[in-house]
Amino acid sequence: MNIFELKIWDDERSKCTFYTVQWIDTEISETDKFLIRYETSHSDAIQQLLSFILKAVGEDHGAVDALFNRFENEVVGLPNKGNARLGEFKYHYPEFPLRLYALKITDNIVVLFDGGVKDGPTNQASSLQGKWQEACHFAKRILEEIRDKNIQVDEYNKLLTNHLGESEIII
């Protein structure tokens, strides 16, 4: 109860390893729950968001500050702030319908949580509130474990390990 695993979600990108969290009594990670929940109703947004995370961050730049700039207490909301128009293509990131919450450990290690639809001016005033609070809770506990050295940050290999140097991290 209230125990979760911090596990690798994607470690096949050159610039960043992505972790996720999964309640110990469930079969699916919080980030995969988010994808499944919105892959049909918000398919375009999910595709953009996933390209942003796995391609732009994972393969091109890492989790640099310019791309992780939507600070919301302990977590950041993805995608980053910003929009752009190139020729006929126009994307409105400020009006982007979805938010996925994340915790940046380093430029090369990121933990992804759950998220939802941004349907209000603030997290508190939208249906995201519960997911945002939950993400902040996960993030606080992970940061505490890092501070207490129960989780080791291996920047060279872009990995997190437990205090024994093993990949299994239960919190």
Partner 1 sequence: MKSKIAERILNSTPKDVEIYVRLYADLVVRITDILKEKQMTQKALAENLGKQPSEIHKWLSGDHNFTLRSLAKLQAELGEEIIYIPQKVIYTHYIEGGVKTMHMTVVKNSAKPSIDTLYIESTPQPLADVI
Closest separation in Å from C-beta 55 to partner 1: 5
**Is 93 in contact with 82 (CB distance < 8 Å)?**
yes
**Burial state string for 140-163 with b = 16 or more CB within 10 A and e = fewer than 16:** ebbeebeeeeebbeeeeebbbebe
14 binds partner 1 (CB under 8 A): yes
Region of 6-14, 117-125, 136-144, 145-153 interacting with partner 1 (CB under 8 A)? 6-14
> Is residue 69 a contact residue for partner 1 (CB under 8 A)?
yes
Closer to partner 1 at the Cβ: 55 or 163?
A: 55
| Cα 98 to Cα 58: distance, rounded to the nearest angstrom | 19
Site for partner 1 in 73-102 (CB under 8 A): 80-87, 89-91, 93-94
CA dihedral 26, 27, 33, 37 (to 10 degrees): -100
Integer Cα distance of 85 and 83 in angstroms: 7
Rule CB under 8 A: say whether 51 interacts with partner 1: yes
Binding site residues, partner 1, CB under 8 A? 8-12, 14-15, 20, 29, 31-32, 35-36, 39, 44, 46-48, 50-52, 54-57, 59-61, 64-67, 69, 80-87, 89-91, 93-94
